[in-house]
Amino acid sequence: MMQLSNMSKSFGKQTILQNVSLDISTNQITGLIGPSGTGKTTLIKCLMGMEKYDTGSIRIDDTTVPNRKLLNKIGYMAQSDSLYHDLTGLENIQFFAHMYGKKISNKAVQSTLNLVQLEQDKKKLVAHYSGGMKRRLSLAIALINHPKYLILDEPTVGIDPVLKLSIWDQLHDLKKDSTLLITTHIMDEAMKCDQLLLMKNKGIAASGTPQEILENFGVSDIDQVFLKLEEQEYANASTD
């Protein structure tokens, strides 16, 4: 399990996350959603040990983050693609597989290439890939190690609708053996998650299954939940 307890993070005088506490359950897809600038990517970087949090604690499998040994258990896809453009798609996958320190079978590589529909372009230099192809390659790299935890920051941006459906089917298959944390701005994708964490005002404003959240706020879609939160914030500010 991933656990955050009273975790806070600031950059200079600007507080990004304040006293965030949450549990990310195993073998589920947890969606982290919220407007731009609410700290989703910062929270993920703190989980990965890429950013040092100021107070509180983060634990994964009862190990305090940061810890280098945890990285072999995590597949990570960043918002921005970090690829070697002078290598082919296949060479990128092989390079990152080697970085995990494990022997990744050719069958596993082939299966991952098929999932993201890059088999025909695997020998093409990444410099010649489109933006959507680069996102698909980044997703393949995150999956190649069959990680216990998958942290995906907006994984389907720039990917066509048909392939998105295929990827989401695969993500639901992956949760049998992995725990997934996914950020998305696409509300249809949010509804495919098992649990949702709605971020606003430097923390978690609501959590639960998508249906539980809709019922609690008495609305029919997630966008309306954020409108309700805005109304509550405005009402509270008016009474202060």
169-191 per-position pLDDT tens digit: 888 988 998 999 999 888 889 99
Q: What angle do CA 190, 196, 197 make, to 5 degrees?
A: 120
pLDDT value at residue 53: 96
Contacts of 222 (CB under 8 A, 6+ apart): 33, 187, 190, 191, 196, 198, 210, 213, 214
Q: Which residue has 């005088």 as its token pair?
A: 13
Closest CA to 44 of 197, 189, 177: 197
| Domain range summary for the chain, segments of one domain joined by + | 2-239
Pairing mode, strands 29-33 and 195-200: parallel
Mean pLDDT confidence for 157-162: 84
Q: Which of 184, 181, 149, 155 lies closest to 167 in space, CA to CA? A: 155
Q: How far is it, in rounded angstroms, from Cα 64 to Cα 14?
A: 25
Share of the chain above pLDDT 70, in %: 98
Give the pLDDT confidence score for residue 86 in this predicted structure: 96
For the domain spanning 2-239, the CATH number is 3.40.50.300
Which pLDDT belongs to residue 240?
A: 59
**pLDDT at position 237 over 70:** no
pLDDT at 31: 96
pLDDT in tens, 95-132: 988 887 767 788 888 888 988 889 999 999 999 999 88
Q: The whole model's pTM is what? A: 0.88
8 Å CB contact between 96 and 104: no
